[in-house]
A and B are shown apart, each in its own frame.
Chain A
Amino acid sequence: MTAARPLPAAARALLRGDRRALARLISQVERGDPAVGPVLRALHARTGRARVIGITGPLGVGKSSVLNILLAHLREKGHRVAVVAVDPSSPFSGGSVLGDRIRIERDPADAGVFIRSMASRGRSGGVSAATRETVRLLDAAGFDVILVETVGSGQVDVEIRDIASTNVVVLVPHLGDEVQSLKAGLFEIADVFAVNKSDLPGAEAAEKDLSELVSLGAPRDGWRPVVVRTSARERTGVAELWTAIEAHEAFLDAEPGRRAAAERGRVAKEIVGLVQARLARETSERLAQSEDDARLLDDVVGRRIDPRSAADRIYEDHRKPARRARRK
């Protein structure tokens, strides 16, 4: 259908391995520049080859350090690896300090590695829209493993399930009893648990507790999380960690349609998110611009109409011109 259309110049540059072009496209995605739309459209058919691995967990457990040893391990095995490290933006100033690069050692001349830090920027729908599109750009650029590191608390954690096909939750000994991990909702995320800082006392007990918890629960979608011990400081456990990740990836491919079904679920959420964002933006613009809608706001304040009915009216109104346009 669209195969005959020539690739946009930026897409061609990305496919050539131009790292600056890739970096600039990620910036465009991040600031919601509509210019990136045709590039994403053109590149979509060239994505889907990368394994997207989420790495999450509470603050201070060593996510970046685990990522660092995993990155080195994957490079040794010949993978081309991209990293997306997401950190929160300050809700007050909008600024952020993105410090994950400090922990990552790499040869700056190695074109098989690309690292990008990303601030959450308080986007509606969290980090997922920009992160997902960034992952696709990296995928199209030929990175076959993409590690997405997200900050360790709250909603963002769960969103990583909407981006990655395998998720690693990093924990440490003495983080609290096993009830804490039940509370935190980490079991909903983890395909693999990494008990990091396992050079510290208590690591064995932590691994045992977690393994017990895992065996108590019902498998989620047929998979029971694997628990491994790592020490980023002593660089141990990384081979076991990758083996566990690969085992989950193999599980996704073991039955026809399993991986596709998982991706289908993620794509559905993504599309709902995109439609939501667009409706929200257009509605805000209308409320700010249209006199009819301004009057509607006054009517709600004056108790002549309730907010739900006002929303219904705006929604119905909103659909009309679009329908007319389609019929033409």
Chain B
Amino acid sequence: MPKPTAETPIRVLIAKPGLDGHDRGAKVVARALRDAGMEVIYAGLRQTPEEIVESAIEEDVDLIGLSCLSGAHMALFPRVLKLLKARKVRDVPVFAGGIIPDDDAKRLRRIGIRAVFGPGTSLEEIVRTARGIARRPS
């Protein structure tokens, strides 16, 4: 068996919580992370926070990306964080993207979302940040 190395790809879950059909952003980000050499588990649309957390556990991801353009981010994102905590997943960082007002973004960062990306963020920045915050194999 090969030795575990830095080459082991980062596994990232990309999911869209809630009732929001706008998945272009999530798909563009998934594609960019893939092209950066990551394994993207794409959970797609209309995921409940419970589904997202269970997927993150089963897939043992190093990072979770949530996308929301419906305006329900202040209800859904904190719920994902809470469920992660309840399941004792403490080492998997979460980032977010979508239409998120600055004040909300600040509050989300305060409760533990590691990065919030709005429209116009470059893919390079998203990839760089994702690499920077992803959990490393222990």
Q: Determine whether the beta carbon of A31 is less than 8 Å from that of B137.
A: yes
Residues of A24-76 at the interface with B, using a CB-CB cut-off of 8 Å, are 24, 26-27, 30-34
Q: Determine whether the beta carbon of B2 is less than 8 Å from that of A32.
A: yes
A237 to B37, CA, bound (A): 39
Interface size on A, residues (CB 8 A): 33
Decide yes or no whether A10 CB sits under 8 A from chain B. Answer: no
Interface size on B, residues (CB 8 A): 37
Instruction: Output the nearest chain A residue to B45 by Cβ-Cβ distance.
Output: A102
Selected from A19, A98, A114, the residue in CB contact (under 8 A) with B41 is A98
Selected from B34, B59, B60, the residue in CB contact (under 8 A) with A96 is B34
Instruction: Output the nearest chain B residue to A85 by Cβ-Cβ distance.
Output: B41
Decide yes or no whether B20 CB sits under 8 A from chain A. Answer: no
The main secondary structure of chain B at its interface with chain A is mixed
Decide yes or no whether A95 CB sits under 8 A from chain B. Answer: yes
A151 to B71, CA, bound (A): 37
Instruction: Output the nearest chain A residue to B48 by Cβ-Cβ distance.
Output: A108
Decide yes or no whether A109 CB sits under 8 A from chain B. Answer: yes
Interface centre among B3, B4, B41, B44 (most CB of A within 10 A): B41
Q: Determine whether the beta carbon of B57 is less than 8 Å from that of A96.
A: no
Q: Determine whether the beta carbon of A94 is less than 8 Å from that of B37.
A: yes
Contact with A along B59-80 (1 / 0, CB 8 A): 1100000000000000000000
Contact with A along B6-43 (1 / 0, CB 8 A): 01110100000000000000000011011111111111
Decide yes or no whether A214 CB sits under 8 A from chain B. Answer: no
Decide yes or no whether B51 CB sits under 8 A from chain A. Answer: yes
Q: Determine whether the beta carbon of A116 is less than 8 Å from that of B137.
A: no
Residues of chain B whose beta carbon lies under 8 Å from any beta carbon of chain A = 1-4, 7-9, 11, 30-31, 33-45, 48, 50-51, 53-55, 57-60, 87-89, 137
The 3 closest A-B pairs by CB, nearest first: A32-B1, A108-B54, A95-B34
Residues of chain A whose beta carbon lies under 8 Å from any beta carbon of chain B = 19-20, 23-24, 26-27, 30-34, 89-90, 93-99, 101-102, 108-109, 114-117, 119, 121, 129, 277, 281
Given A32-B3, A95-B36, 9 more contacts at CB 8 Å?
A: A20-B89, A23-B58, A24-B60, A26-B60, A93-B37, A108-B48, A108-B50, A109-B54, A129-B1
